[in-house]
Each structure stands twice: as C-alpha cells, then as structure tokens.
Chain A
Amino acid sequence: AQSVTQPDIHITVSEGASLELRCNYSYGATPYLFWYVQSPGQGLQLLLKYFSGDTLVQGIKGFEAEFKRSQSSFNLRKPSVHWSDAAEYFCAVVGDDKIIFGKGTRLHILP
C-alpha cells in the first residue's frame, strides 16, 4: 500500500536561512507527488506537484522540490525562508485513486 513519511515533525530555522523538508514515499508505480502548506486555521494550499518530466519542480512562494526515484524522495526546498513561511507542510502521493498525506512537518521561523 502506498504511504508517505515525513520524518521531521518540527523544524526550526532562522529567517533568511535555507530550508529542506524531507518526504519519502512508498508506491510501486510512478507516483504523482504534491506538497501542500497549511497556515493556522486554514485549509491546505497546493505548493507544487510532480507528475512526470523534469524532476525539479518549481512551486509558488519560492519553493521547489526534487523527485528522486532512486531514493523514493520528494524533498521540499527554499533558499531563504521568510517569517510568513511558518506553517505546517504536508507531502502527499496519489495512488490507487486516493491521495495519501504524510503526518506533516511544522516549520518554525526564528527572527
């Protein structure tokens, strides 16, 4: 069965520092992969997606993610975080007609 693992429950970075959030998936075929962001009290907003093609995908708000089939990973990166990036981030995979989410990584930003 497909699954998504986000190994970091919380991550804290300083404003202006670079960021990498980890995501590992389990799925037999080529996965459709997503990153979503959730601000407090809000619904989930799509940051970026990977279906096929170029393994480095660009998203909104300056985020990018790289699909690495050999490592079953789809890590999210941002070169310089802003205080407004503080939120919870979810990695997700589509397989067998449903979308499965990881447990999320809560990002804290230090001023």
Chain B
Amino acid sequence: DSGVTQTPKHLITATGQRVTLRCSPRSGDLSVYWYQQSLDQGLQFLIQYYNGEERAKGNILERFSAQQFPDLHSELNLSSLELGDSALYFCASSHGLSEAFFGQGTRLTVV
C-alpha cells in the first residue's frame, strides 16, 4: 500500500459527459501529480500541484482541469469526454523533489 488513495477505481461513462477523479496523497506529501496511461501513448504526465498551486503542466488537454484543495487532496476533472480519453489515470504524491508514490489508478472507460 503506497498510501495514495484514488477513487473511484473504475468509471464507465458516455461520450460528452464530465467526470471527476479524486486523489488523496500520502500524509505529509505536498506534491500531487496526475498521469494518463493508455496503450498507444504510454504514461503521460498531465499536471502537478504543490501545496495548492499548479507547479508544472504536461500534455493536458484544455477539456481537462485539476485542482488541489487546502487539505491537499486533488481532483482531476475531465469534460466533453471522447472515446480516446479511455485510459488509466494515476495520481502520485511526493514530499518535495523525491520519489513519487502512486495510487492504484482509476480506469476510465468512455462508451
């Protein structure tokens, strides 16, 4: 158990819909990262938050957004969903510039 909790584990939704993925980092970790993993693109960095503020941005679509709340949990919002958004979404947390600990992921299926 990494200490990072992601909910839900599975999500099935229709095209055009909006979903929210939730991540609770390890206790004391201020950084939260979001990654998307698909068969064709591999593990893609989406965005990083540090203590509530956006720190780095990767290949995140404009339809996607994230935030980190004062209690340090984070949410990834995906809107106007397309079939190609079906993927595993991972959250990871770290304490400063150290190794990241990953959650078990949320498997999103868009039908």
Chain A residues close to B by CB (< 8 Å):
32, 34, 36, 42-46, 49, 90, 94, 96-101, 103-104
Count of chain A to chain B residue pairs whose CB atoms are closer than 8 Å in the complex = 53
A11 to B97, CA, bound (A): 31
In this complex, the member of A42, A43, A46, A96 whose beta carbon has the largest number of chain B beta carbons within 10 angstroms is A43
Check A100/B102 contact, CB under 8 A, given A43-B2, A94-B97: no
Select which of A42, A43, A46, A99 is within 8 A of B45 by beta carbon.
Answer: A99
Residues of A within 8 A of B50 (CB): 97
List B residues at the A interface (Cβ < 8 Å): 2, 4, 33, 35, 42-43, 45, 48, 50, 55-56, 58, 90, 92, 94, 97-105
CA distance A10 to B14 in the complex (A): 34
With contacts A43-B105, A44-B102 taken as known, whether A103 is within 8 angstroms of B43 at the C-beta atoms is yes
Cα(A97)–Cα(B56), bound, Å = 7
CB atoms of B42 and A103 under 8 A apart: yes
A97-B55, A99-B100 given; A44·B42 CB < 8 A: no
A100 to B45, Cβ gap below 8 A? yes
- CB contact between A42 and one of B55, B58, B94, B104 (< 8 Å): that residue: B104
A97 and B102 contact, CB distance less than 8 A:
no
Smallest beta-carbon distance A42→chain B, Å: 7
Q: Choose from A36, A49, A90, A96 the contact partner of B56 (Cβ within 8 Å).
A: A96
The residue of chain B having its C-beta at the shortest distance from the C-beta of A44 within the complex is B102
Nearest CB in chain B to that of A96: its residue: B56
Q: State the Cβ distance, B45 to closest chain A Cβ, in Å.
A: 6
Q: How far is the CA of A43 from the CA of B33 in the complex (A)?
A: 13
- Give A17 Cβ to nearest chain B Cβ, in Å: 26
